[in-house]
Amino acid sequence: MSTVYFTKDHEWVKVTGDEGVIGITDYAQKALGDVVFVELPAIGLDLAQGAEAAVVESVKAASDVYSPVSGTVVATNQAVVDQPGLINEAPEEGGWFFSLRLSNPSELDELMDRAAYDEFLTGLE
């Protein structure tokens, strides 16, 4: 059973056990436009919550992706490096960025669930 959490910087983290898969939200990919380039963290890298973990670029914008929680990088999604368009097509599925082994799961309490994130987005309009 997994649960998805969201940040105000428009990242999501899907947590199963002590592992979290991280990507950017549909809102974020729409704001960026066609993604042309992704830079992912190295496997084994220890990331603190809020640390710059990845870079995502469209033709007109470049944005840092921050780690929603602390942990160690255990996997990265080579598919989005080869086909950055996956992030536009399926941001919360095939367009994931990397996964972490969580070192401090209590940080999840600070994040939003989907309903809270949707409400947060409504507030941005």
Partner 1 sequence: MRYLPLTEADRRDMLAAIGVSSVDDLFRDVPPAARRDGPVDLPRHAGELEVERRLSALAGRNLDAGSVPFFLGAGAYRHHIPAAVDAIIQRGEFLTSYTPYQPEVAQGTLQYLFEFQTQVAMITGMDVANASMYDGATACAEAAAMACRITRRKSILLSGNLHPHYRSVTATSLQYSGFTVDALDPDPLDLEDLLGRIDSGTACVVVQNPGFFGKIKDLGALADACHDAGALLVVAVTEPVSLGLIEPPGAMGADIVVAEGLGIGNALNFGGPGLGLFATRDKYVRQMPGRLAGQTVDADGRRGWVLTLSTREQHIRREKATSNICTNSGLCALAFTVHMALLGGEGLTRLAELNHAKAVQLAGKLRSVPGARLLHQTFFNELAITVPRPAAEVVARLADRRILGGVPVSRFYPSYPELAPVLLLAATETTREEDMDQLVAALKECAL
Partner 2 sequence: MTETISGSRGLSIEEPLLFEQGSPGQCGVDLETPPDLPDHLGGLRRRQPAALPGLAEPTVVRHFTRLSQKNFGIDSVFYPLGSCTMKHNPRLNEKLARLAGFADVHPFQPESTVQGALALIDLAAHWLKTLTGLPAIAMSPAAGAHGEFCGLMTIRAALEDRGERRTRVLVPESAHGTNPASAAACGFTVDPIPATSRGRVDVGALKAKLGDDVAAVMLTNPNTCGLFENDILEIAEAIHGVGGFFYGDGANFNAIVGRVTVADLGIDAMHINLHKTFSTPHGGGGPGAGPTVLSDALAPYAPLPAVVHDAGGFHLVEHAAGSGLKPCGRIKGFHGQFGVFVRALAYMMSMGADGLRQAASDAVLNANYLQARLSGELTPSFDGPCMHEALFDDRFLKDSGVTTLDFAKALIDEGFHPMTMYFPLVVHGALLMEPTETESKETLDRFIDSVRGLAQRAKQGNAAEFLSAPAHTPRRRLDETAAARTPELRWRPEKKV
Give which of partner 2, partner 1, none residue 76 binds (C-beta under 5 to 8 Å, depending on kind).
Answer: none
Q: Which is nearer to partner 1, 44 or 123 (CB)?
A: 44
Q: Which is nearer to partner 1, 15 or 54 (CB)?
A: 54
Q: Which is nearer to partner 2, 50 or 85 (CB)?
A: 85
Considering the rule CB under 8 A, would residue 61 count as an interface residue with partner 1?
Answer: yes
Residue 23 exposed, middle or buried by CB count within 10 Å (0-12, 13-18, 19+): buried
* Per-residue tokens: 15: 């947590």
Phi-psi sector, 10: left (phi>0), alpha (psi -120 to 50), beta:
left
Question: What is the nearest approach in angstroms of partner 2 to the Cβ of residue 62?
Answer: 11
Residue bearing tokens 């947060």? 120
- Chain centroid to Cα 90, Å, comes to 12
Give which of partner 1, partner 2, none residue 43 binds (C-beta under 5 to 8 Å, depending on kind).
Answer: none
Q: Site residues (CB under 8 A) for partner 1?
A: 37, 57-62
